[in-house]
Amino acid sequence: MNAVYDPPPEPKDRPKSLARPRDAATLILLRRDDDTPRVLMGRRSSGHDFMPDKYVFPGGRVDAQDGRTPALSELAACEEEALRTQARRRPRAFALTAVRETFEETGLMIGREAEGPASPPKGWDQFFDQNVAPCLKNLSFVGRAVTPPYRPKRFDARFFLADAADALVDDRPPVDGAELVDLKWFTLEDAVQLDLPSVTRFMLGEIGERVAKPDTGLRPFFLRWSRSGHRMERL
């Protein structure tokens, strides 16, 4: 499966002013407990004004408290170094956002059983109420993508990959919620047949390459807009 980025066409009517991208993070959970690897994806609600009805990985905006949330383990040094490229936040903030958003949108928990802080950071109460603390050591930074400037809502998203068997606290099933429905573990071949944003389709290609050739040392990608159009480079 080749990772080829096919950006959506530009709209005929561009916005008069460009929206500033908001920091976000996404987590791709990979299961290898079957003959064919599978990833967790869900369909965004029809009520969303950003990519309604598209199938995506769990994720969302970075909250101010995410970077200050305690964790049992931190990112590997090489992951932190790659995340620091042109970043306004601490690397761990993006990883913790991916953990929090995955819990909020699917009910799945990235961490280990542990006693939480007496006063959890805002937005983390329900997570720590489960007597689980987040772990970041099993998260790998695989890429970054910035929404094109002609879109009315823009995100500067960091994508993480984690093996579900290592990262999840238990084997509970994902639960549909207000943000994502039809949550399932899809094979990569089935996933590319879904109604996907172009960046998600690109991500599936990246994951396919990493699964097929785990020892190639593929560097994280960076998808962004330049004066000459969309550009992809390795960090």
Q: Which helix (H) or strand (E) holds 24?
A: strand 22-31
The pLDDT score that the predictor gives to residue 4 is 47
Helix%, strand%, coil% for the chain, nearest 5 = 25, 30, 50
| Helix (DSSP H) and strand (DSSP E) numbers for the chain | 6, 11
135 burial level (CB within 10 Å; 0-12, 13-18, 19+) = buried
Contacts of 130 (CB under 8 A, 6+ apart): 109
Which residues lie across from 166 on neighbouring strands? none
Query: 108 by DSSP, 3-state: which?
Result: coil
| Percent of the residues in the chain that have a pLDDT greater than 70, as a whole number | 90
Q: Which of 2-6, 161-165, 225-229 has the highest mean pLDDT?
A: 161-165
Please give the Cα distance from 105 to 25 (Å, whole number).
13
Look at residue 16 in the predicted model and tell me its pLDDT. Answer: 58
The mean pLDDT of 90-113, rounded to a whole number, is 97
CA dist 26 and 112 (Å) reads 20
3-state secondary structure 143-180: EEEECCCCCCCCEEEEEEEEEHHHHECCCCCCCCCCCE
Residue 141: CB atoms within 10 A of its CB come to 25
The reply to whether the predicted model has a pTM over 0.85 is: yes
pLDDT for res 180? 94
DSSP-H helix ranges across 27-173 = 77-83, 91-106, 125-128, 164-167
Q: Mean pLDDT, to the nearest integer, of 11-31?
A: 80
User: How much is the average pLDDT of 46-51?
Assistant: 71
pLDDT classification of 18: cutoffs 50, 70, 90: confident
- Burial profile 77-86: b = 16 or more Cβ within 10 angstroms, e = fewer: eebbebbeee
Collapsing DSSP to helix, strand or coil, 134 comes out as strand
Dihedral of alpha carbons 156, 63, 115, 176, sign? negative
